[in-house]
Structure 1
């Protein structure tokens, strides 16, 4: 049986993190925890070869290329984690934590350490909550 593109798969995320350099593993795990603690409507899996988080509730039908279910993806770089919000342009970023203004709608948060995450944790969770409030159910 094949998996859908949006099956909750925490084991694959755990395996991915386990294979990272220990510093990045700790940061990625801390981000993962912060994201999942935000709301029970957030699930995880591997997408685009990275840990990704998506809305697990009911939605109106949509074109998969619109990424309306995808909340964020964690891309690990050499010295930081890049949290990419594929549809970040819909978010009201009251805390000013999102960077970029790409034509395709992406917005990002760059975190270099767990201290960066701790400083921006509430802002990150506020961004996710705002995104969730705009889901077309």
Structure 2
């Protein structure tokens, strides 16, 4: 798992009722594929591999929200990756139970992104 101390420090100062859920989503993403890394961009944890995969929306207080920067282009069937923007898609987690139901899809998104980036 490629945990970044800079992101650990960000979490130490993150004051939000969704903090534990956001942290759990972080861990699922990092565990999904050894190629994925994390950093702080746009004042939020961002997951990267040969480009930006996703960033948390840290101000959300009712769910954990990820914005997948190029989500439209990630190949695969991902029903919880939603939105109709030009490129971005989002995925939300309302609870630990919701994360549990979506964890396999989240992991598949991470692997699909890394595989696509390797094929370029």
| Bin of the TM-score, shorter chain as denominator length | 0.7 to 0.9
User: Which one of 9, 27, 31 corresponds to residue 15 of structure 1?
Assistant: 9
Runs of 4+ in 1 over 6 A off after TM superposition: none
Partner Cα separation in structure 2 for residue 9 and residue 89 of structure 1: 26
Uncovered stretches (5+) of structure 1, i.e. residues with no partner: 1-7, 57-68
Residues 9 and 46 of structure 1 are in contact (CA less than 8 Å); yes or no, is this contact kept in structure 2? no
Query: Which residues of structure 2 form unaligned runs of 5+?
Result: none
Distance in 2, matches of 1:83 and 1:93, equals 18
Structure label with greater radius of gyration: 1
Mapping of 1:38-77 within 5 angstroms?
A: 38-55=32-49, 69-76=51-58, 77=60
1:28 maps to which residue? Answer: 22
Q: State the structure with bigger RCO (CA 8 A, min sep 6), 1 or 2.
A: 2
Matched with 1:89 is 72
Structure 2 length-normalised TM? 0.87
